[in-house]
Amino acid sequence: MNGISLSLQDIRNENRSRVGGKGFALSILTRGGLRVPPALCITPEAYREFISATGVRETILLELGRKAFEDLRWE
């Protein structure tokens, strides 16, 4: 477990808020012996680091600031 990503086998109860409901559920299935495709859960810390390091954060904020939140389209 490196803090940036967690394999399904590494996820524990205390990681639930960091991996979300789907990642947590898949980890339970994996640890229960069910066959689940290999996967990694990317943590919020990794996401924030990526969008900051690549400059995408500013683009996201710019786009979100262009319209009122309720007027944004979510396709």
Rounded Cα distance between 66 and 33, Å, is 48
pLDDT value for 1: 40
Written as six digits, the tokens of 34 are 């069910």
**Which residues, at least 6 apart from 20, have a Cβ–Cβ distance to it below 8 Å?**
41
pTM recorded for the entire structure:
0.67
Distance CA 57, CA 37 (A): 31
Q: What is the pLDDT of residues 14-71, one digit of tens each?
A: 999 999 999 999 999 999 999 999 999 999 988 999 999 999 999 999 888 888 878 8
